[in-house]
């Protein structure tokens, strides 16, 4: 605000500082700040050259913005089921590859990285570009390497609820000059595109106007997000501790299992911690438990609603695009695993102990413990009453 530069037209100021920090943190040469995660994904898809007729393998178990911008390009998302922990299932994807398939996009759901060795080898086996939607997974790592660095580009949302938050914003990172150049063109016309694009490239003559979109971020939001980047590793560490404690607390309730804890070289950013409830063990299942915990004041615990499987949403059942018409569907299979997760899971926020908030975060986890203990106690008592009610008539009969 002191600089008086509330619009940044080229790669300079706080935008350049954020991009440099992001590139350094991800060991990638190019980062591009955008005004949303959706814009970052759109830029990545345009960056790899997708257009009408192209198909992209896309998880059904994700937030719809992972795939929705494909419709703006006339490309078609083809929905793929997930594994029991919500990660992209390459076995299911294999049956959906066609001669039109050009790319694959994966989401590291709730912060837990997908099985990237498997995803990368699947993409290279089929000659597909890989895009990672890391909007839940800032700073998450797979085999020690940050997500967003495994394919043609990574895209992150910087919206308020995200781990690195600008209010609204997004960022794309890539090691491919062609992807970076094309992304400039989509939303960063004139000064930035003219300075950043390869002047010898075939698209350079369009640099002054771009393609009609503007994806520049508000510098105040990016200034707000910038200092958070340096905290990321500490926050991820703290999140591991809090997530383990939350899992222990909920595991006191029979039938509840944490689904997205870090394991096997997959370190989650814990955007949220996902739990599954087995209704055969806990009568009333997930919905009863969430209602009971909410009634006890645990407001941070809920059922993912906006993140419902994409094959249940009209846009994916009847795909439409402003630039083409489709004669092929997005929904080409059954999605039992995603449906199971949608029916039986709840999520809860995981704190990350930013400096000066440690006490508050500890109090939050203690409050969760009081509620889970109370519910575990109530359920044990109910089970004991039911058991004695079942025994009573027999006992009286013997008397
Ligand atoms: C998985 C996922 N992808 C993409 C997005 C889109 O990000 P934005 O809201 O910044 O456009 C979000 C967040 O809202 C998200 O959760």
pTM above 0.85, yes or no: yes
Indicate the helix (H) or strand (E) that contains 214: none
- Output the ligand 1 site: residues, CB below 6 A: 36-38, 62-63, 65-66, 107, 133, 135-136, 157, 159, 170
Q: Give the residue extent of every domain in the chain.
A: 13-229+310-330, 232-306+342-398
* Dihedral angle computed from the Cα positions of residues 107, 111, 115 and 117, in that order, rounded to the nearest 10 degrees: 90
Q: CA 140, CA 111: separation in Å to the nearest integer?
A: 7
Domain 232-306+342-398, CATH number (from 3.90.1150.10, 3.30.750.24, 3.40.1380.20, 2.60.15.10)? 3.90.1150.10
Long-range contacts of range 87-92, CB-CB < 8 Å, 24 or more positions apart? 87/112, 87/113, 87/114, 87/115, 88/59, 88/114, 88/115, 88/119, 89/337, 90/115, 90/118, 90/119, 90/122, 92/333
Point out the ligand 1 atom lying closest to the alpha carbon of residue 307: 16
The closest of 180, 179, 160 to 169, measured between CA atoms, is: 160
- Measuring from atom 3 of ligand 1, which residue has the nearest CA? 66
Q: Which atom of ligand 1 is nearest to the CA of 271?
A: 16
In tens digits, the chain (399 residues) has pLDDT values of: 888 889 999 999 999 999 999 999 999 999 999 999 999 999 999 999 999 999 999 999 999 999 999 999 999 999 999 999 999 999 999 999 999 999 999 999 999 999 999 999 999 999 999 999 999 999 999 999 999 999 999 999 999 999 999 999 999 999 999 999 999 999 999 999 999 999 999 999 999 999 999 999 999 999 999 999 999 999 999 999 999 999 999 999 999 999 999 999 999 999 999 999 999 999 899 999 999 999 999 988 999 887 899 999 999 999 999 999 999 999 999 999 999 999 999 999 999 988 888 899 999 999 999 999 999 999 999 999 988 888 776 555 444
In b/e form, how buried is each residue of 168-196, taking b as 16+ CB within 10 angstroms? bbbbbbbbbeebbbbbbbbbbbeebbeeb
CA angle 75, 81, 85 (to 5 degrees): 130
Alpha-carbon distance of 194 to 148, in angstroms, equals: 26
**Alpha-carbon distances of 351 from 261, 297, 314, 364, rounded to whole Å:** 14, 17, 34, 8
* Cα(55)–Cα(61) distance, integer angstroms: 18
Atom 7 in ligand 1: residue holding the nearest Cα: 37
Left (φ > 0), alpha (ψ -120 to 50) or beta: where does 122 sit? alpha
DSSP state of 310: G
Q: How many other CB atoms are there within 10 angstroms of residue 319's CB atom?
A: 19
How far is the C-alpha of 12 from the C-alpha of 233, rounded, in Å?
25
Helix (H) or strand (E) holding 161: none
Q: How far is the CA of 6 from the centre of ligand 1 (A)?
A: 24
Ligand 1 atom nearest 157 alpha carbon:
10
How much distance in Å is there from the Cα of 156 to the middle of ligand 1? 8
Domain with residues 13-229+310-330, CATH architecture = 3-Layer(aba) Sandwich (3.40)
- Which residue of 159, 167, 171, 221 sits with most ligand 1 atoms within 8 Å of its CB, as the best mutation to test the pocket? 159
Ligand 1 atom at shortest distance from the alpha carbon of 40: 11
Alpha-helical regions (H) of the chain: 13-26, 37-47, 65-68, 70-73, 90-94, 116-125, 177-187, 191-196, 219-250, 285-295, 314-317, 336-344, 358-398
Helices (H) and strands (E) in the chain, counts: 13, 14
Say what the pLDDT of residue 396 is.
52
Q: How many CB atoms lie within 10 A of CB 68?
A: 18
- Which pLDDT score is estimated for 356? 81
pLDDT at 399: 41
Q: How far is the CA of 359 from the centre of ligand 1 (A)?
A: 30
Asked if 85 contacts 337 with a C-beta cutoff of 8 angstroms, the reply is: no
Residue nearest (by alpha carbon) to ligand 1 atom 8 = 37
């Amino acid at each position: 605000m002191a600089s008086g530069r509330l619009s940044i037209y080229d790669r300079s100021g706080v935008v350049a500082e954020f991009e440099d920090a992001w590139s350094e943190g991800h060991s990638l040469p190019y980062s591009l700040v955008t005004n949303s995660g959706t814009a970052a994904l759109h830029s990545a898809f345009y960056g790899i050259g997708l257009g009408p007729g192209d198909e992209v393998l896309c998880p059904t178990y994700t937030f719809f913005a992972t795939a929705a911008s494909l419709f703006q390009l006339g490309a078609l998302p083809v929905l793929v089921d997930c594994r029991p922990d919500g990660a992209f299932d390459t076995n299911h994807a294999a049956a959906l590859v066609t001669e039109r398939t050009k790319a694959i996009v994966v989401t590291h759901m709730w912060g837990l990285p997908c099985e990237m060795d498997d995803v990368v080898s699947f993409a290279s086996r089929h000659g597909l570009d890989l895009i990672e939607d890391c909007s839940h997974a800032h700073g998450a790592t797979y085999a020690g390497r940050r997500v967003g660095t495994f394919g043609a580009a990574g895209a992150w949302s910087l919206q308020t609820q995200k781990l690195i938050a600008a209010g609204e914003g997004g960022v794309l990172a890539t090691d491919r000059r062609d992807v970076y150049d094309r992304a400039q063109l989509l939303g960063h016309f004139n000064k930035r595109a003219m300075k950043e694009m390869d002047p010898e490239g075939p698209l350079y003559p369009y640099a002054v106007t771009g393609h009609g979109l503007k994806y520049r971020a508000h510098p105040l939001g990016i200034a707000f997000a910038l200092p958070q980047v340096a905290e990321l590793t500490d926050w991820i560490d703290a999140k591991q501790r809090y997530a383990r404690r939350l899992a222990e607390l909920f595991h006191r309730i029979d039938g509840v299992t944490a689904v997205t804890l870090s394991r096997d070289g997959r370190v989650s950013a814990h955007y949220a911690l996902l739990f599954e409830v087995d209704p055969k063990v806990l009568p009333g299942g997930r919905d009863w438990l969430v209602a009971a915990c909410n009634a006890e004041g645990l407001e941070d615990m809920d059922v993912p609603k906006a993140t419902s499987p994409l094959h249940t949403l009209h846009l994916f059942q009847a795909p439409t695009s402003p630039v083409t018409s489709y004669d092929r569907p997005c929904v080409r299979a059954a999605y039992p695993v995603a449906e199971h997760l949608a029916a039986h899971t709840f999520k809860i926020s995981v704190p990350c102990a930013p400096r000066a908030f440690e006490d508050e975060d500890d109090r939050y986890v203690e409050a969760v413990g009081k509620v889970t203990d109370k519910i575990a106690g109530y359920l044990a008592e109910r089970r004991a009453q039911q058991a004695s009610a079942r025994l009573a008539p027999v006992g009286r009969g013997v008397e």
